[in-house]
Structure 1
Amino acid sequence: MSSDRIQWVLGLGYLVQGFRGFPWLGANFFLTEELHVNPGVLQLLQNSANLPMVAKPIYGVLSDSVFIFGQHRIPYIAFGAFLQSLSWLAIAFLSSSNLSIFALSLCLLLSNLGASLAEVANDAIVAEATKQQHGNASSLPSFVWMVSSLGGILGNLLGGFVIKTFSSHSTFLVFGILAFVQFLVTVNIRESSLKLPKNPSPPSIKKHISDLSHVLRKPEIAYSIAWIALSTALVPVLTGTMFFYQTKFLKTDASLVGISKVVGQIAMLLWGLVYNRWLKSIRPRKLIAAIQGTIAVFVVSDLLFVKGVYRDLGVPDSVYVLFFSGILEALFYFKTLPFTVLMARLCPPGCEGSLMAFVMSAIALAFIVSGYLGIILASFVGVTVDDFSGFTRGLAIEAICVGIPLILTSWIYDETEAKEKSKKKE
Structure 2
Amino acid sequence: MDKDEDLLLKTTIYKDPSHKNGILMRPFYWFRMLSNELHWSFVISVMIIYGINQGLSLGLSRISTQYYMKDEQKLQPSEAQIYMGVIAIPWIIKPFWGLLTDIVPIVGYRRRPYFILAGLIGVTSMLVLSLQNNVQLALALLLLMAGSAGAAVGDVTIDACVTENSIAHPTLAGDMQSLCGVSSSVGQLLGYIMSGFLVHHIGPKGVFGVMSIASCLVITVGLMLREDLTRNLDYRRVNQKFLDAGKATWMALKCPDVWRPCLYIFLSLAVSLHIHEGMFYWYTDAKSGPSFSQELVGSISSVGAIGSLCGVLLYQNIFKKYPFRNVLFWTQLLFGASGMLDLILVFRMNLRFGIPDYAVAVCDAAITHMIGRLKWMPLLVLTSKLCPSGIEGTFFALVMSIDHIGILASSWGGGFLLHTLNVTRTEFDNLWIAIVIRSLGRVLPIGFLFLVPNIDSNSTVLPAEMLQPRKDDDDKLKHDNLEMGSLINSFDQNLADE
TM-score, normalization by structure 1: 0.85
Amino acid at match of 2:190: L
CA displacement, residues 63-102 of structure 1 (integer Å, 9 cap, x when unaligned)? 343233555455434432332222112212213x3x2222
Residue of structure 1 equivalent to 2:253: 216
Residue of structure 1 equivalent to 2:201: 165
CA displacement, residues 349-403 of structure 1 (integer Å, 9 cap, x when unaligned)? 4423321221221111111110111111112233222221211111111111111
Measured after TM superposition, the shift of residue 259 of structure 1 is 0.4
> For 2:364 and 2:251, how far apart are their aligned partners in 1?
42
Residue of structure 2 equivalent to 1:121: 157
Pick the structure with greater CA Rg.
2
Q: Is the 8 A contact 1:160 1:256 kept in 2?
A: yes
Residues 360 and 231 (structure 1), Cα distance of their counterparts in 2 relative to 1, 3 Å cut: same
Residue of structure 2 equivalent to 1:197: none
Instruction: Look up the SS of the partner of 2:171 in the other structure.
Output: coil
* 1:88 and 2:131 correspond: no
How many residues are treated as equivalent by the alignment? 413
> For 1:255 and 1:110, how far apart are their aligned partners in 2?
27
- Give matches, 1:141-290, under 5 Å: 144-191=180-227, 204-248=241-285, 249-290=289-330
Residue of structure 2 equivalent to 1:31: 69
Query: Please, which runs of 5 or more residues in structure 2 have no aligned partner?
Result: 1-36, 230-236, 464-498
Q: Is the 8 A contact 1:25 1:258 kept in 2?
A: yes
Amino acid at match of 1:213: W
> For 1:229 and 1:275, how far apart are their aligned partners in 2?
22
- Give matches, 1:126-141, under 5 Å: 134-138=170-174
Residues 404 and 3 (structure 1), Cα distance of their counterparts in 2 relative to 1, 3 Å cut: farther
> For 1:192 and 1:331, how far apart are their aligned partners in 2?
44
Measured after TM superposition, the shift of residue 22 of structure 1 is 0.4
Residue of structure 2 equivalent to 1:401: 441
> For 2:45 and 2:331, how far apart are their aligned partners in 1?
30
Q: Is the 8 A contact 2:258 2:462 kept in 1?
A: no
Residues 352 and 106 (structure 1), Cα distance of their counterparts in 2 relative to 1, 3 Å cut: same
Amino acid at match of 1:307: F
Q: Is the 8 A contact 2:115 2:221 kept in 1?
A: no
> For 1:128 and 1:343, how far apart are their aligned partners in 2?
20
Residues 284 and 103 (structure 1), Cα distance of their counterparts in 2 relative to 1, 3 Å cut: same
TM-score, normalization by structure 2: 0.74
Residues 145 and 403 (structure 1), Cα distance of their counterparts in 2 relative to 1, 3 Å cut: farther
Q: Is the 8 A contact 1:150 1:269 kept in 2?
A: no
> For 1:131 and 1:298, how far apart are their aligned partners in 2?
41
Measured after TM superposition, the shift of residue 62 of structure 1 is 2.5
Residue of structure 1 equivalent to 2:432: 392
* 1:56 and 2:94 correspond: yes
- Find the partner of 1:344 among 384, 387, 397: 384
> For 2:70 and 2:227, how far apart are their aligned partners in 1?
43
> For 2:461 and 2:380, how far apart are their aligned partners in 1?
23
229-238 or 85-94: bigger deviation: 85-94
> For 2:128 and 2:71, how far apart are their aligned partners in 1?
20
Measured after TM superposition, the shift of residue 132 of structure 1 is 8.5
- Percent identity reads 23
Q: Is the 8 A contact 2:268 2:445 kept in 1?
A: yes
Amino acid at match of 1:322: V
Residues 336 and 80 (structure 1), Cα distance of their counterparts in 2 relative to 1, 3 Å cut: farther
Residue of structure 2 equivalent to 1:308: 348
Residues 318 and 8 (structure 1), Cα distance of their counterparts in 2 relative to 1, 3 Å cut: same
> For 1:139 and 1:261, how far apart are their aligned partners in 2?
28
> For 1:65 and 1:246, how far apart are their aligned partners in 2?
47
Instruction: Look up the SS of the partner of 1:168 in the other structure.
Output: helix
CA displacement, residues 130-174 of structure 1 (integer Å, 9 cap, x when unaligned)? 788932424766653443232221111111111112222221111
* 1:378 and 2:418 correspond: yes
> For 1:4 and 1:284, how far apart are their aligned partners in 2?
39
Residue of structure 1 equivalent to 2:38: 2
> For 1:268 and 1:333, how far apart are their aligned partners in 2?
6
328-337 or 76-85: bigger deviation: 328-337
Measured after TM superposition, the shift of residue 280 of structure 1 is 4.6
Q: Is the 8 A contact 1:228 1:363 kept in 2?
A: yes
> For 2:348 and 2:182, how far apart are their aligned partners in 1?
34
Bigger relative contact order (CA 8 A; separation at least 6): 1
Measured after TM superposition, the shift of residue 299 of structure 1 is 0.4
> For 1:189 and 1:72, how far apart are their aligned partners in 2?
11
Measured after TM superposition, the shift of residue 275 of structure 1 is 4.1
Amino acid at match of 1:53: W
Measured after TM superposition, the shift of residue 113 of structure 1 is 1.4
Q: Is the 8 A contact 1:123 1:356 kept in 2?
A: no
Residues 141 and 401 (structure 1), Cα distance of their counterparts in 2 relative to 1, 3 Å cut: farther
Q: Is the 8 A contact 2:90 2:145 kept in 1?
A: yes
